[in-house]
């Protein structure tokens, strides 16, 4: 059988060589047919470890190839030849390759020295381990071919797994064009069918009212899910903050406790600590105090007020939760520890929204000059412009990747900015905003969506790459002041409104059980609709 195989191989080699020489004489060296036959010829030579012949056929495969490229390819072939001689128990032949073929190339001397050390291997298994090599055979030669393909132009040899790569690109493109794409895992050929174009079902998207929270007795100005996704805090003009527990299985919320502020100060914002245990609470522009609460036991930890003339209307915890920053429209801008001690101040900065960057040092804030600027309290005097809008910035929020910022602009709507490149990425269309502070959010799987309230009583949702809204959620009867997307359970979205309610939006499958959750105050119909936009 072996003799028959060798006889057939010699005949095939002579036949291919005859055709190759003929095509070279008639058409020249660079005709596609000749190159294709030469490539096939070269592949067979590598697989049958005909190293001398395969080395000679390298140059015609590379159009205007550099000498260094030819040498590197020869080195790969001779390295395999050397290792196979060692594997066959032919150390003298291997030594001949090392001395008379590899070394004269004067290429990768350190690797040549390493190869020479393999002569001391006690057995084949030792050789495989030290060389990290599969051993003589198809597998190791396939590795050599993959490495050689990096030097060959695609007109000569198609890159490995090219079809699979093209299909994966098609799948990724379809995912990008899917308006409601909400898969937590990366789409690939294993989890998406190629029989039809990919589209995500909207049934799992938060587009229906599944619960109406009616415990507040006045306008609800703010709502925010905790970082762990298990709690929701809502703040109202009625001076109360309510903490709600999230049932992740049933996608429902249950009243936990009310944080009684024991003052007549309305609640205009809340900010969670990174561990979801503390809550920073502040009021509107003329509020002189800010407080921190333990949401587990409902106890007041800190009430901070430097002067009755202060304005502390916004704040944020540091990324490690050890400090917080607060400020307002009267020029106060403080960095504090959790005991309320002021660690540093920045004088004369009038801000209305603030956030910590991922480095836990830089603080960004929007001011009354329509800017967002960066401040480093650890290095006084270090402040810099990040962006500037032609109209007042009412509020802003930063995504979890610390790269994008979502700005609500007076009379302009919602703008998306890249904080690193300092450029405007997108203007989202479809919301009505004039003078009211509306708080928007990022959300969904991988934060691929943004949502915002609107003065026309609607909640608008966009894909982060589309300017037109995917849809508008109707149900509130007055201005929607704030929206919050659950960071851990992307099927939950909360919205707070001047109609004194908080609506929880969830999948269509949960909408049939939508009921008001209330102890006393107001009540509200749970009817809602999802208006698709083209």
Token pair recorded at residue 83: 């290792």
CA distance 259 to 291: 11
If one looks up domain 269-388 in CATH, what number appears?
A: 2.130.10.10
Q: What is the pLDDT of residue 311?
A: 84
Least confident interval from 142-146, 176-180, 499-503: 176-180
Q: Kindly tell me if the per-residue pLDDT of 11 is higher than 70.
A: no
Half-sphere exposure (Cβ direction) of 305: Cα atoms closer than 13 Å: 12
Q: What is the pLDDT of residue 382?
A: 81
Distances (CA, A) of 207 to 227, 228, 413, 441, 455: 22, 22, 21, 16, 19
Other Cβ atoms within 10 Å of 527 Cβ, number: 10
Element holding 242 (H helix, E strand): strand 240-247
Token pair recorded at residue 488: 């851990």
Closest CA to 156 of 39, 27, 77: 39
Least confident interval from 10-19, 111-120, 402-411: 10-19
Distances (CA, A) of 76 to 58, 70, 129, 145, 149: 12, 10, 19, 9, 11
The larger pLDDT score, comparing residue 275 to residue 25, is at 275
Q: What is the pLDDT of residue 188?
A: 67
Q: Across residues 482-492, what is the average pLDDT?
A: 94
Q: What is the pLDDT of residue 510?
A: 67
Pairing of strands 208-213, 515-517: parallel
Determine contact, residues 450/443, Cβ cutoff 8 Å. Answer: yes
- Taking each helix axis as running N to C, give the angle between helix 138-149 and helix 67-87, from 0 to 180 degrees, rounded to the nearest 10: 170
CA distance 118 to 97: 13
Closest CA to 327 of 360, 289, 358: 289
Closest CA to 480 of 499, 505, 456, 453: 453
Q: What is the pLDDT of residue 34?
A: 44
**DSSP-derived secondary structure letter, 125:** H
CA distance 156 to 149: 9
Q: Kindly tell me if the per-residue pLDDT of 275 is higher than 60.
A: yes
Residues facing residue 462 across a β-bridge: 450
Q: Across residues 206-217, what is the average pLDDT?
A: 94
Closest CA to 507 of 178, 207, 199: 207
Q: Across residues 181-194, what is the average pLDDT?
A: 66
CA distance 422 to 425: 9
Q: Across residues 354-382, what is the average pLDDT?
A: 90
How many helical (H) and strand (E) elements, i.e. helices and strands, does the chain have? 9, 30
Q: Across residues 296-323, what is the average pLDDT?
A: 89
Average pLDDT score, the chain: 82
Determine contact, residues 527/467, Cβ cutoff 8 Å. Answer: no
Pairing of strands 351-356, 362-367: antiparallel
Q: Across residues 106-124, what is the average pLDDT?
A: 91
Q: Answer positive or negative: Cα dihedral of 49, 55, 57, 62.
A: positive
Cβ-based neighbours of 83, under 8 Å, separated by 6 or more: 94, 115, 118, 127, 131, 133, 136, 140
Element holding 245 (H helix, E strand): strand 240-247
Q: Across residues 191-201, what is the average pLDDT?
A: 73
Q: What is the pLDDT of residue 346?
A: 86
Q: Across residues 461-469, what is the average pLDDT?
A: 92
Q: What is the pLDDT of residue 30?
A: 42
Residues facing residue 237 across a β-bridge: none
Least confident interval from 294-308, 479-493, 520-534: 520-534
Question: Exposed e or buried b for every residue in 212-222, given b needs 16+ CB within 10 A?
Answer: bbbbbeebbbb
Other Cβ atoms within 10 Å of 436 Cβ, number: 17
Q: Kindly tell me if the per-residue pLDDT of 301 is higher than 80.
A: yes
Q: How far apart are the first and last CA of the chain?
A: 69
The larger pLDDT score, comparing residue 262 to residue 534, is at 262
CA distance 414 to 407: 6
Least confident interval from 7-11, 127-131, 216-220: 7-11
Q: Kindly tell me if the per-residue pLDDT of 35 is higher than 70.
A: no
Q: Kindly tell me if the per-residue pLDDT of 169 is higher than 50.
A: yes
* pLDDT band, very low/low/confident/very high, at 13 (cuts 50, 70, 90): low
CA distance 408 to 375: 21
- Per-residue pLDDT tens for 420-430? 999 999 999 98
Q: Kindly tell me if the per-residue pLDDT of 72 is higher than 50.
A: yes
CA distance 219 to 83: 78
Q: Kindly tell me if the per-residue pLDDT of 37 is higher than 50.
A: no
- Taking each helix axis as running N to C, give the angle between helix 32-47 and helix 2-27, from 0 to 180 degrees, rounded to the nearest 10: 160
Pairing of strands 314-317, 299-304: unpaired
The larger pLDDT score, comparing residue 346 to residue 244, is at 244
Q: What is the pLDDT of residue 81?
A: 85
- Per-residue pLDDT tens for 230-254? 999 999 999 999 999 999 889 999 9
């Amino acid at each position: 059988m072996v003799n028959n195989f060798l006889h057939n191989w010699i005949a095939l080699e002579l036949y291919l060589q005859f055709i190759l020489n003929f095509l070279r004489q008639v058409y020249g060296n660079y005709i596609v047919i000749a190159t294709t036959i030469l490539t096939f010829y070269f592949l067979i030579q590598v697989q049958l470890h005909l190293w001398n012949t395969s080395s000679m056929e390298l140059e015609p495969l590379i159009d205007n190839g550099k000498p260094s490229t030819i040498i590197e390819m020869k080195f790969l072939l001779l390295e395999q030849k050397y290792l196979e001689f060692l594997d066959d128990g032919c150390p003298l032949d291997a030594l001949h390759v090392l001395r008379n073929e590899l070394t004269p190339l004067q290429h990768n001397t350190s690797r040549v020295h390493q190869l020479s050390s393999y002569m001391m291997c006690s057995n084949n298994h030792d050789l495989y381990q030290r060389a990290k090599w599969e051993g003589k055979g198809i597998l190791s030669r396939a590795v050599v071919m993959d490495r050689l393909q990096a030097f060959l132009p695609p007109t000569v040899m198609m890159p490995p797994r090219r079809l699979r790569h093209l299909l994966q690109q098609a799948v990724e493109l379809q995912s990008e064009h899917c308006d409601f794409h909400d898969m937590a895992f990366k789409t690939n050929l294993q989890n998406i069918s190629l029989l039809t174009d990919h589209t995500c079902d909207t049934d799992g998207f938060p587009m229906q009212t599944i619960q109406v929270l009616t415990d507040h007795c006045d306008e609800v100005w703010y709502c925010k899910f905790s970082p762990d996704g298990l709690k929701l805090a809502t703040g109202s003009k009625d001076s109360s903050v309510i903490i709600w527990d999230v049932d992740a299985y049933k996608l429902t919320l249950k009243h936990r406790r009310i944080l009684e502020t024991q003052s007549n100060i309305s609640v205009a914002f809340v900010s969670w600590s990174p561990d979801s245990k503390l809550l920073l609470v502040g009021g509107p522009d003329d509020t002189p105090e800010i407080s921190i609460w333990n949401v587990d036991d409902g106890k007041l930890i800190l009430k901070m007020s430097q002067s009755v003339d202060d304005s502390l209307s916004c704040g944020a915890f540091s990324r490690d939760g050890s400090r917080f920053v607060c400020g307002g429209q009267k020029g106060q801008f403080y960095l504090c520890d959790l005991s309320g001690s002021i660690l540093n101040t920045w004088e004369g900065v009038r801000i209305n929204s603030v956030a910590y960057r991922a480095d836990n040092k830089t603080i960004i804030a929007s001011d009354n000059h329509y800017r967002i600027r960066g401040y480093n309290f650890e290095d006084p005097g270090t402040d810099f412009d990040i962006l500037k809008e032609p109209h007042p910035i009412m509020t802003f929020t930063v995504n979890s990747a610390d790269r994008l910022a979502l700005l609500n602009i007076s009379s302009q709507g919602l703008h998306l900015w890249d904080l690193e490149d300092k450029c405007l990425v997108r203007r989202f269309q479809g919301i009505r905003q004039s003078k009211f502070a509306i708080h928007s959010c990022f959300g969904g799987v991988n934060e691929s969506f943004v949502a915002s309230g609107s003065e026309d009583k609607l909640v608008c949702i966009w894909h982060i790459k589309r300017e037109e809204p995917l849809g508008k959620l109707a149900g509130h009867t007055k201005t929607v002041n704030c929206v919050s997307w659950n960071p851990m359970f992307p099927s939950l979205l909360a919205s707070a409104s001047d109609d004194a309610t908080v609506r929880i939006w969830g999948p269509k499958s949960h909408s049939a059980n939508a009921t008001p959750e209330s102890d006393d105050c107001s009540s509200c119909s749970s009817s809602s609709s999802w208006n698709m936009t083209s």
